[in-house]
Amino acid sequence: MSGPGYLFLGDEEKALVTRALDTWQLNRYRFDETAEPSMVFTLEREFEQRTGAGHCLAVNSCTSALLTALAALGVGPGDEVIVPGYTFIASIAAIVHRGAVPVLAEIDESLTLDPEDVTRRITPATKAILAVHMLGAPAALDELRRIADDHGLFLIEDAAQATGGRYRGRALGTVGDAGAFSLNLFKIITSGDGGLLTLADDAVYERAFAFHDHGFKPMRHGIADADSLFGLNLRMHELSGAVALGQLRKIENILETLRKQKTALSEAIGELPGVERRKLNDPDGECHSFFVLRFETVEAARAVAAKLGTTTLIDSGRHYYGNMPQLISRRMPTASEHPFGCPAHPTEARYEPHMLPRTDDILGRSITLSVGVVDGYLGAGFGITPLSSPDEIAAVATAVKSAVNEVVART
């Protein structure tokens, strides 16, 4: 149960951690001007160089990156943020903790935000669109960027599952006003836990830095001015930075390995009766970490999933809005009782099971096979890994074809 980065941990990461331990440099700051730059500082600069982002800020989780982005962009009580109904719960939690209102929107066959539905859900209270690059593949960023610009909204990219991915030549996290990345155990690269935040605007970066570190200016070069927010402590630890830096330096190898493994699995499976592949907004830009199959009926998808010992995506933990009890209650609350409302900013938002019928239908008919991320909670408990041999890939393909053919023959 891990992501691809974990399987690539090796001597490079160990050497960087050892260098930090040899000098007992455990904090991101260097108060001695003669000391070499910290691992965290170097990680930020190398991530900027790789992605072309104006700024990168390392934090202790992707949730913190999302929270920091929202705070730095001025999203707060009463503001609405459009977010897909298929995402990890952290995307919604970050909005809630800013006192803002998550507005759930439909996904399309790409398993990411449906731009047409986003447009339908914009109101005078809408402040931002939060696009989530689910299962390692980009959302329709051209369309979402245009919608955001036309309506004066911020576009935030949740690239937790898609570090290293691209969209039509641009690195994910750089098309929007902010991009958030995860470094936890199940991601493309890992430091155990941790996150990265990319930002384009200088002033927004200064606000983000202040928010993540008690109101300080970048690199603690003074206290931020009165416009800054009350900051928290969301800093990345130096040892996490060392591991993440080692992983970042091998990300191209990781992504190329995933591409080759997914291509081999796809060719071994071939075309299947009654099954479609996931729509990809940019086939060249995805991370190749999952292989999604969509069936004609919910019954067929569940039958195949059962034979493979996995689940459909609608049953995959806190990634489907209907599996979030914090969001969905049996009795719909009044405006004053709403968990995201307050007397000064009443909201009429409502959350209930099956409120996104298209999302329910697509997720109910879809299963995903692991290629790089092995995570039963995400619905990717069956498949291959970056280290799977050709024989292991062939065996998985045979099992998938057998399950599909048996189910189709019965229907």
Residues annotated as part of the active site: 187
**Burial grade of 11 (CB within 10 A; 0-12, 13-18, 19 or more):** exposed
The alpha helices in 123-277, defined as continuous H runs, are: 141-151, 202-212, 238-248, 251-269
* Helix/strand/coil for 383: strand
One-letter amino acid of 59 = V
324: Cα separation from own chain's centroid: 17
Provide the 8-state DSSP code for 156: E
Integer CA distances (angstroms), 147 to 112, 115, 130, 399, in order: 15, 8, 12, 43
* Helix/strand/coil for 218: helix
Q: How many CA atoms lie within 13 A of 226 on its CB side?
A: 0
**Burial grade of 298 (CB within 10 A; 0-12, 13-18, 19 or more):** middle
Integer CA distances (angstroms), 79 to 73, 75, 358, in order: 12, 6, 25
Residues composing the chain: 411
Report yes or no: 288 and 386 within 8 Å, Cβ to Cβ. no
Report yes or no: 387 and 370 within 8 Å, Cβ to Cβ. no
Other C-beta atoms closer than 10 Å to the C-beta of 217 total 15
Q: How many CA atoms lie within 13 A of 250 on its CB side?
A: 20
The alpha helices in 73-218, defined as continuous H runs, are: 89-97, 115-120, 141-151, 202-212
How far apart (Å, rounded) are the C-alpha atoms in residues 198 and 51? 9
Integer CA distances (angstroms), 203 to 179, 208, 224, 228, in order: 16, 9, 11, 10
